[in-house]
Amino acid sequence: MSLRLGDTAPDFTADTTEGEINFHEWLGDGWGMLMSHPADFTPVCTTELGAVGGLGERFAKRNVKAIVVSVDSVEDHKAWSKDIEETQGNTVNFPIIGDADRKVAQLYDMIHPNEGDTSTVRSVFIIDPNKKIRMTLTYPKSAGRNFDEILRVIDSLQLTDNYKVTTPANWQDGDDVIVSPALSNEDAEKLFPAGWNELKPYLRMTKQPNK
């Protein structure tokens, strides 16, 4: 199943390190980050889950819940969590889904045969409060993910959902943004009374409106 931006995130019920969950109910009315890792007791994954554990406050500030899945068992996840805490200095403060039957992995197309086996690649799905997929990201198994980039995209999504702007290349929270090309100058003047810098008629830079 190939999922695209704007699709409804598939719902499922699964056992996790924090008990059985129904995914959509667990998400509630907030945002979610569903990420997969290839296997427990592996080095790159250990650093990744440790990193997510250390970002709990930053995710909470954005009303984002993190949840992780792999094709290993919940028992293995619980045992591995002790290694993560010991080596990374962060607790695993989010659920890890046991997916030995690969139900979730198949729902989200996380198994790529060209990678050579039946474990999951490093996928990320950002899901909004309407349960729509807003961002997807797939890394090779050999490369650990950049969570600063994932948080940056979440910031952009949440900003552009609330204001008629888009964010330029390498944008960081607080940087100038682009006035939506769909807005006429007349309409833009009402929304951005401080004005903008018109580099081209389609490229109007303005201050981030919520700063």
Number of residues in the chain: 211
Domain locations along the chain: 13-145, 163-206
The tally of CA atoms less than 13 A away on the side-chain side of residue 97 is 27
Closest C-alpha among 20, 63, 54, 14 to residue 36: 14
| Residue 182 pLDDT greater than 90, yes or no | yes
pLDDT, position 141: 82
User: What is the dotted CATH code of the domain comprising 13-145?
Assistant: 3.40.30.10
Q: Pull the structure tokens for residue 191.
A: 């929304």
pLDDT, position 139: 87
Same fold, 13-145 and 163-206: no
Closest C-alpha among 143, 49, 142, 141 to residue 88: 49
CA distance 16 to 136: 22
pLDDT, position 115: 55
Q: What is the pLDDT of residues 69-104, one digit of tens each?
A: 988 999 999 999 999 999 999 999 999 999 988 999
pLDDT band at 122; cut points 50, 70, 90: confident
pLDDT, position 5: 95
- Look-up of token digits 């699709």: 7
Phi, psi of 51 (to 5 degrees): -65, -45
pLDDT, position 112: 67
- Look-up of token digits 């899901």: 127
pLDDT band at 117; cut points 50, 70, 90: low
| Residue 170 pLDDT greater than 60, yes or no | yes
Class of domain 163-206: alpha beta
Q: Catalogue the active-site residues.
A: 45
Q: What is the pLDDT of residues 100-114, one digit of tens each?
A: 889 998 899 887 665
| Residue 116 pLDDT greater than 80, yes or no | no
pLDDT, position 8: 98
Q: What is the pLDDT of residues 16-41, one digit of tens each?
A: 999 999 999 999 999 999 999 988 99
